[in-house]
Amino acid sequence: MKIKLTRNQQGELQIIQPPHLKPFADFLETDINENREYCQEIISSIDEIKHSTNPNQQEFFCGNIYELEINPKQALLLNLYDEQASPVKIELNELKELLSVWQKQISKHSTQEK
């Protein structure tokens, strides 16, 4: 998957994504934003769940707009403010790739600012 990132006129990090990833792009932009630690926490949870022997293990992350549920099969993203929006599913590897690219860009930007 090819992921492109850009910064808007206000300097905010944005993802240019395939349409099926739009809710996850919004999640990155609004709920994770420039928070490297929060991003790493989710990546670490994905790794932990992927390597767990407990098939019922789950992790939940609640942000500004979305709730992210990670289980051994997939991740589900739920918009907390849009009751008509259905949860959106993504494979764990795809989510981890999105988060890793996002985190790398956050780190790169914070290094450039110093």
Flag whether 7 is in a domain: no
Mean pLDDT of all residues in 10-38: 83
Quick check: 22 pLDDT over 60? Answer: yes
Per the CB < 8 A criterion, the answer to whether 39 and 95 are in contact is: no
Flag whether 4 is in a domain: no
Flag whether 99 is in a domain: yes
Q: Would you state the pLDDT for residue 111?
A: 55
Q: Would you state the pLDDT for residue 65?
A: 95
Q: From CA 56, how far away is CA 49, in angstroms rounded?
A: 9
Q: From CA 106, how far away is CA 40, in angstroms rounded?
A: 11
Confidence category of residue 7, pLDDT binned at 50, 70, 90: confident
Chain-wide mean pLDDT for the chain?
Answer: 87
Token pair for residue 10?
């206000």
Least confident of 40-54, 76-90, 98-112: 98-112
Flag whether 90 is in a domain: yes
Q: Which helix (H) or strand (E) holds 106?
A: helix 92-113
Q: How many domains does the chain have?
A: 1
Phi and psi dihedrals of 21, rounded to 5? -100, 5
| Segments forming the whole domain that contains residue 80 | 17-50+58-108
